[in-house]
Amino acid sequence: MLEARNISLSLGGRQILAEVDLRLEPGLVTSIMGPNGAGKTSLLRILSGEWTASEGSVTLNGQPLAQFPVRRLGQLRAYLHQESSLSFAFTVLEVVLLGRSPHMRGGERPEDYEAARKAVRQVDLEDRENDLYTSLSGGEKQRVHLARVLAQLDEPAIGEARYLFLDEPTNNLDLSHQRTIYRIVREMAGAGLAVGMVVHDLNQAIQASDRVVILNLGRIALAGTPEEIVASPELEGIFGVPLRRVEIPGARCPYLVIDAGN
C-alpha cells in the first residue's frame, strides 16, 4: 500500500497542497479529479517520489518513499506524464523497451522484448512497432508512452505491490482509444496493481474507478466511492457549474451532465 499522510506543498510562497491524506491500494483504481490548478498533478508527483512534499510523509509498502534507491522505485512504480516528448528517431519498440531499464543490467533479455511487445499490443500499436516514434501522431505517441510504463511494471517476479501513476492518460486520444485506456487500467488493477490517475473527464473516469478523490484549492474536498461522489451535492460548488445526474441503463452510477438550464 502507498500511503500519504498530511501532505502539504508550497512553491515560491504559494500553497499548492494542504493536509492531503491519500491511500493507493493494490487492485484498486483511485482517480484524482478537480478543477484546473487544484494541485492534482503536484499530488501525483509527490506520491510517485518525483517531488518531495514540504510537509507530511509518503510510505510505500510500509517504508518511507525517500529511503528507496531510485532504481528500486523504478521497478515498483511507473509514471505516465501528461506530455512526454522525444526528438530522437527511436522506433516504437525501442521507446517501449526503455521502460525495461530498471530491470536490466546491461542489454535487453528475451523477456524484456516479450514484455515490450505485449505492451505494444495492449495499446494497439503492434503493426507500427518498427516505425519511427517521430513519425507518429500525438495520440499514437501518447499510447507509446503508455506502453512504455506498462512494460516497466510487467515484472511479476518483483514480489511487492506495484504502482501505476497516470497523469491525464486520455489526453489527445480519440474515443475508441480512451475506452482502451480505461480497459487497460481495469486490467492492471485486476492484475493486482494499484493505479492512481489524474483525469478530467468525470464520467468515464468515475465508471472506471474504485475510489475518487476530488481536490479543490489544494485540499481534499470529497473522497469516496464513485456512487458517493456522483451523489454529492457539493460537486456543483467545486466545479462551479450546475449539474444534472442522468441515469444510463447499464452504467454503474448516474452520468453527470452540465445543466444548460432548460
Residues that bind other proteins (CB under 8 A): 48, 50, 70-75, 77-79, 81, 84-95, 98-99, 101-102, 104, 107, 130-132, 135, 152
Pick between residue 160 and residue 234 the one whose CB is nearest to other proteins: 160
In the sheet that 163-167 helps form, which strands lie side by side, from edge to edge? 77-80, 163-167, 194-198, 29-33, 211-216, 219-224
* Cα-Cα-Cα-Cα dihedral sign, residues 125, 127, 130, 134: negative
Q: Which of residues 164 and 205 has its CB atom nearest to other proteins in the complex?
A: 164
Give yes or no for a contact between 196 and 161, defined as CB atoms under 8 angstroms apart: no
Nearer to other proteins, 81 or 179 (CB): 81
3-state class of 81 per DSSP?
Answer: coil
**Closer to other proteins by Cβ: residue 13 or 107:** 107
C-alpha cell at 97: 523497451
Shortest CB 105 distance to other proteins, Å: 10
Whichever of 171 and 232 has its CB closer to other proteins, that residue is 171
The partner residues of 243 in beta bridges, in order of sequence, read: 258
Q: How far is the CB of 228 from other proteins (least distance, A)?
A: 32
Q: Which residues partner with 166 through β-bridges?
A: 80, 197
- The total of other beta-carbon atoms located within 10 Å of residue 156's CB is 9
| Nearest-approach distance from CB 45 to other proteins, in angstroms | 8
Burial zone of 158 (CB within 10 Å; 0-12 exposed, 13-18 middle, 19+ buried):
middle
Query: What one-character-per-residue DSSP string does 115-161 give?
Result: HHHHHHHHTT-GGGTTSBGGGS-HHHHHHHHHHHHHHHH--GGG-S-
Residue 48 vs 204, nearer CB to other proteins:
48
The three cell numbers locating residue 187: 486490467
Name the minimum Å distance from CB 44 to other proteins.
Answer: 11
Give the shortest CB-85-to-other proteins separation in angstroms.
7
Q: For the CB of residue 148, give the shortest distance to other proteins in the complex, in Å.
A: 8
